Amino acid sequence: MDRKETNKIIVAHPGRQHSFRLATALKKNDMLLYYVTTIYNKKSSRLMQLVQLFLSKDNLKRANNRKNSFLKDTDVIQYCEFRGMVEALLVRIDKSHRVYRFMQRHDSDRFGIKVAKLAIKENADAVVMYDSNATAGFRYLKKKAPNIVRILDVSIAPRPYMKKIYQKEIQNSGNNDLKKENEYLWQPKHLARIQSEIDDADYFFAASQFVKEGLIHCGAKEEQIKLIPYGANVISNIEKENGKENAKCKFLFVGQVNYRKGIPYLLDVISEMGDTAELTVVGAYNPDDWFVKKYKDDANIHFTGLVTFDKMQKIYEQSDVFIIPSFAEGMAQVGIEAMACGLPIICTFNSGVSDLVEEGKSGFIIPCGDKEALKSRMTWFLENKLKIYEMGRYARNKAIRYTWEHYEDNVVAAINQVLNL
């Protein structure tokens, strides 16, 4: 089969996530028609050049990362660039995310229809779009060009499934924070949009068993779902030493500091352990959140804020055990990175990274929202410090197989399979 004639694929994401990796995989295999996005560091983008003049050092690094060195600028098409930049700003300053979500919904529809029209014009064989951004684009393609294969790459559990999980936690805990953080999940129109793009997709890419479970809950058939785990940026020169029995156990959390990530439970547990353990919390946080206020002065809890990837090596080296107590993820890449850096892990099934964990060998899997289970496993590490090094080596040997090259091979094979059915 001549791929140049038959496998012409458009990858479209108004943000970034792992869409760069998919576009790279297709480009390497001569299957990429275009990569379509909003913000991209093209030499010809005067808007990007202007914005970069006003960015801080760390934000300039993030802006420079909006470029794929493997793709030529001619492989990339930008739609809605200015509005994409406005949304990138809003997501950082609009704490309620209400304005951001209103703009994002409107612009994702506009973006999606433009992508659909491009696919029809260029006679594409398939279009890959991403969850919560494919509603209008898939609807247009289904109506105007049903022969173009529609693939939905699902980066986190579908929202209707997330709502079900959150409702259970609210009922069990009596705490309404998950609803406050995710009010949009209680808006029927939003859930209808998400269900629409699931209904209109021909196939799905899911990074974990948890995401697959969520898709089936929302009506997808198992044969439509291709399980394709993400890769991770593996730090190769991490040097871990065997721990000392009388030393503090150093736990690490990386991610947004919010209820969805299970952080209140983690902070509660670490505070009860006293001086036997400490926790480093890496990620953006709101100083007004009650759980941050409650523990910000705890001598054994350290909030670092956002940290760029190049600074993470030292943090991984200084940590013993990684924890992801999330209620909903896709596949938490930080978990893969931590394991690849030699850290055993405590995670929930809902984190997605549980697919890599062998119970008792590389870490432990706990139910989400179960403080006692979390405390039990953290206490186990306190009482078995000399086993941390061995478990970390086992975790590393497992995780280093999950490279982006491995992801690229899997995703190309999956696309070839669905296009040849």
- Three-state DSSP class for residue 21: helix
Cα of 280 vs its chain's centroid, Å: 20
For the entire predicted model, the pTM comes to 0.89
Are 115 and 13 within 8 A, CB to CB? no
Q: Residue 247 gets which letter from DSSP?
A: S
409: buried, middle or exposed (CB in 10 Å: 19+, 13-18, 0-12)? middle
pLDDT score, position 375: 98
CA-to-CA dists, residue 244 to 241, 287, 321, 343, angstroms? 9, 34, 14, 15
- Between β-strands 363-366 and 345-348, what pairing exists: parallel, antiparallel or unpaired? parallel
Residue holding tokens 């699902």? 154
Quick check: do 3-231+404-419 and 249-399 share a fold? yes
Going from N- to C-terminal start, the domains of the chain cover: 3-231+404-419, 249-399
CATH homologous superfamily of 249-399 equals: Glycogen Phosphorylase B; (3.40.50.2000)
Establish how many alpha carbons lie within 13 A of residue 200's alpha carbon, considering only the half-sphere containing its beta carbon: 27
Give the pairing of strands 249-254 and 225-227: unpaired
pLDDT at 78: 86
pLDDT score recorded for residue 234: 72
Residue 14, both tokens: 């108004």
Give residue 48's pLDDT: 58
Q: Pairing relation of β-strands 301-305 and 277-282?
A: parallel
Quick one: pLDDT at residue 105? 67
Question: Could you please report the per-residue DSSP string of 26-87?
Answer: HHHTT-EEEEEES----TT-HHHHHHHTT--HHHHHHHHTS--TTS-GGGEEE-SHHHHHHH
In this structure, how many other beta carbons lie within 10 angstroms of the beta carbon of residue 367? Answer: 12
The answer to whether the beta carbons of residues 28 and 6 sit under 8 Å apart is: no
Report the CATH architecture of 3-231+404-419. 3-Layer(aba) Sandwich (3.40)
CA 340, 343, 344, 349 torsion-angle sign? negative
Residue 18 has what pLDDT? 87
* Of 403, 345, 348, nearest in space to 370 by CA: 348
- 45 burial level (CB within 10 Å; 0-12, 13-18, 19+): middle
pLDDT in tens, the chain (421 residues): 343 455 799 999 987 778 989 999 999 999 999 999 987 766 656 555 555 544 455 554 554 556 677 889 899 998 876 566 555 655 665 555 665 566 666 778 999 999 999 999 999 999 999 998 999 999 999 999 999 999 999 999 999 999 999 999 999 999 999 999 999 899 999 999 999 999 999 999 999 999 999 999 999 999 999 999 999 877 666 666 665 566 799 999 999 999 999 999 999 999 999 999 999 999 999 999 999 999 999 999 999 999 988 889 899 999 999 999 999 999 999 999 999 999 999 999 999 999 999 999 999 999 999 999 999 999 999 999 999 999 999 999 999 999 999 999 999 999 999 998 6
Nearest Cα neighbor of 150 from 162, 137, 167, 160 is 137
Question: Which pLDDT score, from 0 to 100, does residue 53 have?
Answer: 47
Task: For the sheet with 249-254, list strands across it.
Answer: 301-305, 277-282, 249-254, 321-324, 345-348, 363-366
Asked if 5 contacts 32 with a C-beta cutoff of 8 angstroms, the reply is: no
Tell me what pLDDT residue 146 has. Answer: 97
End-to-end C-alpha distance for the chain, whole angstroms: 13
> Residue 125: which H helix or E strand, with range?
none
Name, in order, each residue with C-beta under 8 angstroms of 105's C-beta and a sequence gap of 6 or more: 190, 193
